[in-house]
C-alpha cells in the first residue's frame, strides 16, 4: 500500500532556526525506522534526526545550510508496505490521505507512484496540498539525546564506526569542537603508531626515555630484521595468550646411555644424535595421545582446529636471532631420520638458507636451551600453536628409590600452554606422559 508520510522536525528542545549540516538521504532511498535522515547543529550539540518508520524517501524538503524549526516539513516518505517497488504507477488509482501523515502523490506533486490499496477509513485527499497544521510526528525525541552525542556528523560517526573508533576519545578540530573525518584519521594514525611502538597500551606508563650517555659511554646498534620480526611476534603472543607454564622433569639416565651408544653409529653417517632428537620423538607420541596440544584456536576464538598431522618446530639460536624451522611428520620418522633433518635444518637456519615454507605449518614447538644450561624457563607460545616445550639442562640428582638415594640424570621440562585451550590437569598429564616416555627407552623407540 502506498502511504505517504510527512516527516516534520520534532521537538528538539529550546532551539529555533537550527542549522541543517548534512542530509543523509536522497529521493528514492530506502530507509529503515531509526535510520538517520539528517543532522542538525546548534551551538551546543549535533543531533541526528531518525526516520520515524521504514519506507522510501519520495521528497527531500531541506538542504544542508537551511535553518529549520520544530514542525517544519523535512521529508516525504512512502511508508514501507509490500507494494513499494520501482515499478510503474497506476496513475488512475484512487488515492486518499489518512490523517495528516498519509499524503497522496497528487497532493504532494511527486512523481507517479504505485498506489493500490487505500485504507477504507481514510478521508479524501485535499486539493490544497498539505494540511496547515501538521500532526504530531512519531519521532521519539528522547532518542535524539543531543547531550550524549559527541559533536560529529553521522557520516563521520559512520566512518568512525567502521574503524571501531570511539568518538568520545577523538578530539574535534571543527567549529565548536566538532569532530571531522580528518580528526578520526589522525586519531587512528596516532593509535597505530602507539601500538607499533614499545608502549604497552592505554593505561600503561610510556617507555622510559633515558639518555644513557649521562651515566657512561654508550654506542647503539640496530636490531636485526629477524629480531624485529620475531620480537613483534613474541610480544603479540605474550600479550594475547594467557600463558601458564607447567614444570616437570624426566629421568633420562637410560636414554642418555642409549644415546651415547648410538652416537658413534650416527656420527658415522655424519649425524649428531643429541637429546633433542629423543625429545622430538617423545613429543610426537605425546601429541598423538593428547591432540589438543597440537590444535589451534580460530581467529574469533570460537573453534578449535585439530590437526591430523604432526609437524614440530624447533627453536634455533642464530647470530641474527631466533628461527623456528619445522620438522614434518615427526610421528612417522625414526630417531636417525629426525637427527638428520634437525642437523640439516639447524645448519641452514644459521646460514640463513631456510626457505619460508620450512618455517611454516608447525603444530607444536620445542625450545631447547639444555645445551647451554639452566634449570627451567617460561617459553613463549608460538601462535597459532597452543603449547611449547622448553627444555633445560639435564643434571645428576639424588633420587629416592626403593628406600635409598640413587644418582639419576634428570631433565627439566617447562611446558607453556594456552590456558584458553588447555586445562592445567591436561598439561600435567602431558608432561607426565612425556616424562614416562623419555624415562623408558623401550617405549621411546616404539
Backbone angles phi, psi at 126, to 5 degrees: -95, 130
Q: Is 370 in the site for ligand CAO (CB under 6 A)?
A: yes
Which stretch, 6-14, 150-158, 172-180, 314-322, contacts ligand CAO (CB under 6 A)? 314-322
The distance of closest approach from Cβ of residue 296 to ligand CAO in the complex, given in angstroms and rounded to an integer, is 20
Q: Is 394 in the site for ligand CAO (CB under 6 A)?
A: yes
Residue with Cβ nearer ligand CAO (151 or 282):
282
- In the block, cell 615427526 appears at 330
| Residue count, binding to ligand CAO (CB under 6 A) | 19
Q: Can you tell me the distance from the alpha carbon of 280 to that of 337, in angstroms, rounded to the nearest whole number? A: 11
Q: Is 381 in the site for ligand CAO (CB under 6 A)?
A: no
Residue with Cβ nearer ligand CAO (39 or 237):
237
The distance of closest approach from Cβ of residue 297 to ligand CAO in the complex, given in angstroms and rounded to an integer, is 21
The distance of closest approach from Cβ of residue 317 to ligand CAO in the complex, given in angstroms and rounded to an integer, is 3
Which stretch, 140-148, 219-227, 283-291, 389-397, contacts ligand CAO (CB under 6 A)? 389-397
Catalytic residue among 243, 308, 329, 419: 419
The distance of closest approach from Cβ of residue 234 to ligand CAO in the complex, given in angstroms and rounded to an integer, is 8
Residue 308 designated active-site: no
Which stretch, 20-28, 37-45, 129-137, 363-371, contacts ligand CAO (CB under 6 A)? 363-371
Of 104-143, which residues contact ligand CAO (CB under 6 A)? none
Q: Is 316 in the site for ligand CAO (CB under 6 A)?
A: yes
Q: Is 387 in the site for ligand CAO (CB under 6 A)?
A: no
User: What residue is closest to ligand CAO based on CB?
Assistant: 370
Residue with Cβ nearer ligand CAO (54 or 233):
233
Of 245-284, which residues contact ligand CAO (CB under 6 A)? 274-276
Q: Is 374 in the site for ligand CAO (CB under 6 A)?
A: no
The distance of closest approach from Cβ of residue 190 to ligand CAO in the complex, given in angstroms and rounded to an integer, is 32
- In the block, cell 653409529 appears at 265
Q: Is 391 in the site for ligand CAO (CB under 6 A)?
A: yes
Binding mask 408-427 for ligand CAO (x = CB under 6 A): ---x----------------
Helix H, strand E, coil C: the string for the chain is CCEEEEEECCCCCCCCCEEEEEECCCCCCEECCCCEEEEEECCCCEEEEECCCCEEEEEECCCCCCEECCCCEEEEEEECCCCCCCCCCCCCCCCECCCCCCCCHHHHCCCCCCCCCCCCCCCECCCCCCCCCCCCCCCCHHHCCHHHCCCECHHHHHHHHHCCCCHHHCCCCCHHHCECHHHHHHHHHHHHHHHHCCCCCCCCCCCCCCCHHHCCCCCCCCCCHHHHHHHHHHHHHHHHCCEEEEEEEEECHHHHHHHHHHHHHHHHCCCCCCHHHHHHHHHHHHHHHCHHHHCEECCCCCCEECCCCCCEEECEEECCEEECCEECCHHHCCHHHHHHHHHHHHHHHHCCCCCHHHHCCCCEEEEECCCCCCCCCCCCCCCCCCEEEEECCCEEEEEEECCEEEEEEEEEEEEEEECCCCCHHHHHHHHHHHHHHHHCHHHHHC
Binding mask 23-62 for ligand CAO (x = CB under 6 A): ----------------------------------------
- Applying CB under 6 A, among 36, 97, 368, 382 the residue interacting with ligand CAO is 368
Report, as residue numbers or ranges, the catalytic residues.
419
Chain residues in the site for ligand CAO (CB under 6 A): 274-276, 314-317, 322, 346, 367-371, 379, 391, 393-394, 411
Amino acid at each position: 500500500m502506498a502511504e505517504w508520510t510527512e516527516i516534520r522536525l520534532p521537538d528538539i528542545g529550546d532551539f529555533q532556526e537550527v542549522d541543517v549540516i548534512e542530509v543523509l538521504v536522497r529521493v528514492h532511498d530506502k530507509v529503515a525506522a531509526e535510520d538517520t535522515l539528517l543532522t542538525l547543529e546548534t551551538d551546543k550539540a549535533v543531533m541526528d534526526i531518525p526516520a520515524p518508520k521504514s519506507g522510501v524517501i519520495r521528497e527531500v524538503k531541506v538542504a544542508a545550510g537551511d535553518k529549520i524549526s520544530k514542525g517544519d516539513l523535512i521529508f516525504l516518505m512512502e511508508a514501507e508496505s509490500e507494494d513499494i517497488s520501482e515499478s510503474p504507477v497506476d496513475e488512475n488509482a484512487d488515492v486518499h490521505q489518512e490523517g495528516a501523515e498519509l499524503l497522496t502523490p497528487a497532493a504532494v506533486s511527486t512523481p507517479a507512484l504505485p498506489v493500490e490499496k487505500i485504507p477504507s477509513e481514510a478521508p479524501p485527499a485535499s486539493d490544497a496540498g498539505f494540511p496547515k497544521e501538521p500532526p504530531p510526528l512519531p519521532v521519539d525525541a528522547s532518542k535524539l539525546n543531543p547531550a550524549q552525542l559527541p559533536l560529529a556528523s553521522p557520516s563521520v560517526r559512520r566512518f568512525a564506526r567502521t574503524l571501531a573508533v570511539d568518538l568520545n576519545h577523538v578530539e574535534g578540530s571543527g567549529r565548536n569542537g566538532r569532530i571531522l573525518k580528518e580528526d578520526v584519521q589522525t586519531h587512528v594514525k596516532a593509535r597505530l603508531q602507539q601500538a607499533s611502538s614499545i608502549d604497552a597500551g592505554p593505561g600503561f606508563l610510556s617507555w622510559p626515555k633515558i639518555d644513557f650517555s649521562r651515566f657512561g659511554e654508550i654506542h647503539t646498534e640496530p636490531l636485526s630484521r629477524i629480531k624485529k620480526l620475531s620480537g613483534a611476534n613474541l610480544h603479540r603472543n605474550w600479550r594475547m595468550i594467557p600463558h601458564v607454564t607447567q614444570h616437570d622433569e624426566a629421568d633420562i639416565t637410560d636414554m642418555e646411555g642409549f644415546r651415547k651408544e648410538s652416537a658413534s653409529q650416527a656420527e658415522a653417517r655424519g649425524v649428531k644424535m643429541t637429546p633433542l632428537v629423543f625429545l622430538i620423538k617423545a613429543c610426537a607420541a605425546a601429541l598423538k595421545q593428547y591432540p589438543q596440544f597440537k590444535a589451534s584456536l580460530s581467529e574469533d576464538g570460537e573453534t578449535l582446529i585439530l590437526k591430523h598431522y604432526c609437524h614440530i618446530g624447533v627453536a634455533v639460536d642464530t647470530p641474527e636471532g631466533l628461527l623456528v624451522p619445522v620438522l614434518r611428520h615427526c610421528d612417522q620418522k625414526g630417531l636417525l631420520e629426525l637427527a638428520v633433518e634437525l642437523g640439516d635444518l639447524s645448519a641452514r637456519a644459521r646460514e640463513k638458507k631456510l626457505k619460508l615454507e620450512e618455517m611454516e605449518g608447525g603444530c607444536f614447538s620445542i625450545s631447547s636451551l639444555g645445551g647451554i644450561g639452566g634449570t627451567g624457563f617460561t617459553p613463549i607460545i608460538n601462535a597459532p600453536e597452543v603449547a611449547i616445550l622448553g627444555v633445560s639442562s639435564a643434571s645428576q640428582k639424588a633420587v629416592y628409590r626403593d628406600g635409598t638415594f640413587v644418582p639419576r640424570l634428570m631433565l627439566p621440562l617447562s611446558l607453556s600452554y594456552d590456558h584458553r585451550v588447555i586445562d592445567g590437569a591436561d598439561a600435567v598429564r602431558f608432561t607426565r606422559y612425556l616424562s614416562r616416555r623419555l624415562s623408558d627407552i623401550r617405549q621411546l623407540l616404539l
